Amino acid sequence: MQVRKKQGRVLLAFVFVLAGVTGSAQTSQAVLPLSLKRAVELALTNDGNARVALAQELIEQARTQQAIAKSVFLPNLDGSVAERRQVSNLQAVGFNFKLPIPGFSIPSIVGPFSVFDARVTAQQSIFNFSDYHKYQAAKISATAVRTDADATRNSVSDEVARNYLTCLLADANRATAQANVELSGVLLKLAGQQKDAGTGTGIEVTRAQVQLANDRQSLIRADNDRSRAILQLLKTIGLKMDAPVELTTKLDLKKTDDVSSDVLVEQARKARPELKTERQRQDAARLTITSVKDERLPSVGAQADYGTIGSDVGSAHPTYTMGISLRVPIFDGGRREARISQSLSQYHQEEIRLRDLDRQVELQVRTALEALHSATAEVQAANEGQALSENELAQARRRYEAGVSTSIEVTDAQTRLQRARDNLVKALYDHNVARLDLATATGTIAEYVNQ
Residue 22, pLDDT above cutoff 50: no
* Cα gap 440→448, rounded to integer Å: 9
Residue 362's pLDDT is 94
In whole angstroms, give the CA distance from residue 114 to residue 85: 4
Identify the band that residue 255 occupies on the pLDDT scale cut at 50, 70 and 90. confident
Rounded to a whole number of angstroms, the CA Rg of the chain reads: 40
Compute the average pLDDT of residues 438-449.
92
Question: Predicted confidence band at 176 (pLDDT cuts at 50, 70, 90)?
Answer: very high
- What is the structure's pLDDT at 103? 64
The rounded mean pLDDT for the chain is 86
| pLDDT of amino acid 273 | 93
Average pLDDT over every residue of 181-198: 87
Is omega for the bond preceding 107 within 30 degrees of 0, making it cis? no
When pLDDT is averaged across residues 317-337 and rounded to a whole number, the result is: 87
Q: How many helices (H) and strands (E) does the chain have?
A: 10, 6
pLDDT tier, 26 (very low <50, low <70, confident <90, very high otherwise): very low
Alpha helices in 71-118 (DSSP H): none
Residue 114: band (very low, low, confident or very high) from pLDDT cuts 50, 70, 90 = confident
Q: How far apart are CA 65 and CA 139, in angstroms?
A: 9
Residue 31 gets which letter from DSSP? P
| pLDDT of res. 229 | 94
39-54 as b/e: b if 16+ CB within 10 A: bbbbbbeeebbebbee
pLDDT value at 378 more than 90: yes
Give the SS3 label for residue 18. Answer: helix
**What CA–CA distance (Å, rounded) separates 114 from 353?**
66
Task: For the beta carbon of residue 342, count every other beta carbon within 10 angstroms.
Answer: 13
Better-scored residue on pLDDT, 256 or 181: 181
- Among the residue ranges 9-23, 74-88, 214-228, 352-366, the one predicted with the least confidence is 9-23
Single out the residue of 33, 35, 40, 250 nearest to residue 158, CA to CA: 40
392 pLDDT more than 80: yes
Q: Parallel, antiparallel, or unpaired for β 109-127 and 76-89? A: antiparallel
List the beta strands (DSSP E) in 360-421.
none
Q: 123-132, 224-233, 410-419: which has the minimum mean pLDDT?
A: 123-132
8 pLDDT band (50/70/90 cuts)? very low
Of 45-59, 92-106, 154-168, 308-322, which has the strongest mean pLDDT?
154-168
408 falls in which pLDDT band (50, 70, 90)?
Answer: confident
Q: Is the pLDDT of residue 302 over 80?
A: yes
| pLDDT mean over 195-200 | 80
Q: Please, what are the domains in the chain?
A: 32-82+114-450 (1.20.1600.10)
The percentage of the chain sitting over the pLDDT mark of 70, rounded to a whole number, equals: 91
The pLDDT value given to residue 271: 92
Is the pLDDT confidence value at 164 over 80?
A: yes
